[in-house]
């Protein structure tokens, strides 16, 4: 855990954030400022700044499996995934995460 990291604090339970999924590797929760009717974030439990610092192939696979599980749980057949990497790409929270955005139709 990194003391000044908002997502580490969420994972630690500091804000009582509701987890849509929690497993060994990741948590999934709703984005506080949704850009789609369903907007969730898949966040690894370990603190890693961005995709560039994440070299664990197993964890990368587990995160993508968690994406699919979360989409299914939210009732999404169609959805977009997004990983902002670096501030010039729009990354605001420097704890790697995968956005899932979709609409229940």
Residues contributing to the site for ligand 5GP (CB under 6 A): 6, 29-33, 84, 90-93
* Coil, strand or helix at 98: strand
Is 7 near Zn ion (CB under 5 A)?
yes
Q: At its nearest, how many Å lie between ligand 5GP and the CB of residue 66? A: 16
60 binds, among Zn ion, ligand 5GP, none (CB under 5 to 8 A by kind): none
For residues 93 and 84, what is the distance between their CA atoms, to the nearest angstrom?
Answer: 9
CA distances from 37 to 12, 25, 87, 90, 91 (A): 27, 26, 25, 21, 21
- Total of residues contacting Zn ion (CB under 5 A): 6
Q: How far is the CB of 75 from Zn ion (least distance, A)?
A: 29
């Amino acid at each position: 855990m990194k003391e000044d990291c908002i997502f580490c604090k969420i994972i630690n339970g500091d804000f009582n954030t509701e987890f849509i999924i929690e497993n060994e590797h990741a948590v999934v929760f709703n984005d506080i400022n949704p850009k789609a009717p369903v907007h969730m974030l898949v966040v690894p439990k370990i603190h890693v700044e961005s995709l560039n610092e994440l070299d664990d192939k197993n964890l990368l696979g587990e995160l993508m499996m968690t994406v699919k599980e979360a989409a299914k749980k939210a009732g999404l057949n169609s959805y977009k995934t997004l990983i902002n990497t670096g501030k010039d790409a729009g990354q605001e929270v420097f704890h790697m995460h995968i956005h899932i955005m979709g609409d229940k139709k």
